[in-house]
Amino acid sequence: MKLGVMGCGKMGTALVAGAVKSGAIQGADLIGFDPSTSAREAFALATGGEVTGEVSGLAACDVLLLCTKPQHAAEALAALHGLVSSDGLLISVAAGLDLAWLSRHAPPGWRVIRTMPNTPALVGEGAAAFACGTGATDGDAGLARTLLSAVGSAHELPENLLDAVTGLSGSGPAYAFVMIEALADGGVKAGLPRSIALELAARTLRGAATLVLESGTHPAQLKDQVASPGGTTIAGLAELERLGLRGALISAVDAATQRARELGRS
């Protein structure tokens, strides 16, 4: 297998570097395309792969990871027509490009997979999902899962659920960043130095998330374990309920999901 990467930005580089680190892919089997010299150099350093500044440099690849900006994808893919074989796999991480669009623009005869990763993949803590197009094989799905799982977790889902994934895990890091910032602001208001408040807030969210994942215990049970009768935590939780934090987060996921559907239709 020769894996080509169209767009050597942070996400594409992170996914491939994770796969190389896990041993799923060898650097000698990689070639990255990007018009930016600095992006190519960063990709080569992180992955050990070959790089090129010309789309034609991907001609020998039988698997392509599409990591360009969505508005540049059609032009980049069109440049491949007639250069690559008629039997290959396109895996897209470009936001908003559905399987029907990918099938129309991929090289003739190629199978397609659409993925939705998120930015924590940059630090090996991604949460992703993917959907397979018609004709994609179990082996194709396995390769997509391997790439995404190398930097976090991956779930195969029907394409009609990927907009919900976008609203939850795709946009979710931004919700978490707001919560971290707000918790830190609360600590500063209570008298803590800014740097300490920020670290305490970030580590608290990371630790809580790890506890949910590793313990297998429902978040409500873990919450109850912290909230003792008449204590500080239940007082804080009552204020969160009064101000509607739970409903706000549910609405944020729903709003982002609806917007993803609108963008897909357009």
Q: How far apart are CA 7 and CA 17, in angstroms?
A: 14
What are the tens digits of pLDDT across the range 160-198?
Answer: 999 999 999 999 999 999 999 999 999 999 999 999 999
Q: How far apart are CA 48 and CA 94, in angstroms?
A: 23
CATH class assigned to 170-265: mainly alpha
* CATH 3.40.50.720 domain span(s) along the chain: 3-162
Q: What angle do CA 20, 144, 253 make, to 5 degrees?
A: 110
How confident is the model at residue 203, as a pLDDT? 98
Residue carrying structure tokens 């101000």: 243
Q: How far apart are CA 188 and CA 44, in angstroms?
A: 42
List the beta bridge partners of residue 126.
Answer: 152
What are the tens digits of pLDDT across the range 119-135?
Answer: 999 898 999 999 999 99
How confident is the model at residue 192, as a pLDDT? 98
Q: What number does CATH give the domain 3-162? A: 3.40.50.720
Which residues are within 8 A (CB) of 137 and not within 5 positions of it... i.e. 6 or more apart? 111
What angle, rounded to 10 degrees, do the helices at 10-22 and 37-47 form?
A: 20
Query: Full-prediction pTM beyond 0.85?
Result: yes
Percentage of the chain beyond pLDDT 70 is 100
Please name the residue ranges forming H helices in 48-88. 70-78
* CATH 1.10.3730.10 domain span(s) along the chain: 170-265
- Kindly report the backbone phi and psi dihedral angles of residue 33, in degrees, each rounded to the nearest multiple of 5, phi listed first: -110, 135
